[in-house]
Amino acid sequence: MDIATVQANVTALVEGWRPQRDERLRRRALDPADFVALAEAGMTLTGVPVDLGGVWQGLGESARPVAALCRSLASVDPSLALVSTMHPTVLTAWSMLPDDSPASVGEQRRRVLAAARDGAWFGTVSSEPGSGGDLWATRAVATRDSGGGDGWRLTGDKHMGSGSGVLDFMITYAVPEGEDEPDIFLIDARGQPWDGSTGATLVREWDGHGMAATQSHAFRFDGLKVERHALGCGFSRLPRFMPVSSYLFAAVTMGVLDAAHAEAQARLAPRADRLGAYERMAWARAANEIWLAGQAFEGMARAIEAGTPLPAVQHGKVAIAELAESAMQLLSRAIGGASFSRANPFGQWSQDVRALGFLRPPWNLAYDGLVEATLGE
């Protein structure tokens, strides 16, 4: 299956789901059947290199078409799109390993990517309460399994585990015993109970206003069995992977804007000649800001394709997040008070784009990165 086939298959699914859009926006949980359908369509191949049976050809070649898939999904189901987007993002920890990686990494790489090729879904449960989203500030620790071998046990509190209960594997971050910096660890979530019996306890189910159906639950891990990234210093390679996450998360925001812009236009066009000055102003400003967000998104893609993703991707992600939040407010003003009804999609879309603004990198780290990129050495 090549990327064109995956695109055609996912497009067919999206069009089949489009009549369900409003109902999907009201959901508070994911439907596992959606992930089965997307896997059969080839979506899990997006994080797998071509030489291992997937469709990923490298950041410069594949970021744009994979982002287009995420953007299309988000136009009908932002929560489903976000969790699906985690998959190729997480797999960059194995699909984009540096050329000088030791041969010992290869076995793990082939095994992890083969699972994705065969339909397994990957995600992340990495953020910690009080960390502000800074992965370097993790307080979770990993200790060697007393049973010997290469096994590890994870202890710590984690939240924002998007896709909990439907994903097969999730990565997280912890400081290995005897070391100073965090590293990447892999959780096998298949059939994992949440009652603490194997080291994972559900602390709080996700109840967010935005991205309401993502099942971004919070957990307490106490001696949970995990597998360490074979590179041994995978965390230090994060700057190689971050442009992927920022760009693909921005694609989800763009998908929401696509849907909101089209819906607002359909509602306002029939009464364009009766719109007041305030409504016209709000519409014009919203349309302009959505256009600007599109230009920023294109700029991110071009920077990635040119091999110079930073700081352009950081600029683009922040710009799109801010423009999206503003544009959704303006669309509500143009449409009127009816936009706040739960029977209309605009309220949920507004909360979705606000929630997306906090994703990699979260606001504080995003602005720290921009200051460093523009004022630092």
Q: How confident is the model at residue 240 (pLDDT cuts 50, 70, 90)?
A: low
The pLDDT tens digits for 364-375 are: 888 888 898 888
CATH classification of 237-375, choosing from 1.10.3720.10, 3.10.129.10, 1.10.510.10, 1.20.140.10?
Answer: 1.20.140.10
**Strand 217-228 with 200-204, pairing:** antiparallel
Measured in Å, how far apart are the chain's first and last C-alpha atoms? 45
Assigned CATH for 3-121: 1.10.540.10
Residue 327: name the closest of 373, 263, 375, 270 by CA.
Answer: 263
Instruction: Find the farthest-apart pair of alpha carbons in the chain and give their distance in angstroms, rounded.
Output: 75
The pLDDT tens digits for 46-84 are: 999 999 999 999 999 999 999 999 999 999 999 999 999
| pTM for the full predicted model | 0.95
The pLDDT tens digits for 192-230 are: 999 999 999 999 999 999 999 999 999 999 999 999 998
Q: What is the pLDDT of residue 134?
A: 83
CA angle 113, 200, 116 (to 5 degrees): 10
CATH classification of 123-235, choosing from 2.40.110.10, 3.30.1540.10, 2.60.40.650, 3.40.50.970?
Answer: 2.40.110.10
Radius of gyration of the chain (CA): 21
Distance CA 259, CA 254 (A): 9
Q: What is the pLDDT of residue 78?
A: 98
The answer to whether 208 and 216 are in contact (CB under 8 A) is yes
Residue 131: name the closest of 357, 317, 354, 364 by CA.
Answer: 364
Q: What is the pLDDT of residue 61?
A: 95
Q: How confident is the model at residue 359 (pLDDT cuts 50, 70, 90)?
A: confident
Q: Where are the domains of the chain?
A: 3-121, 123-235, 237-375
Torsions phi, psi of 376, nearest 5? -75, 180
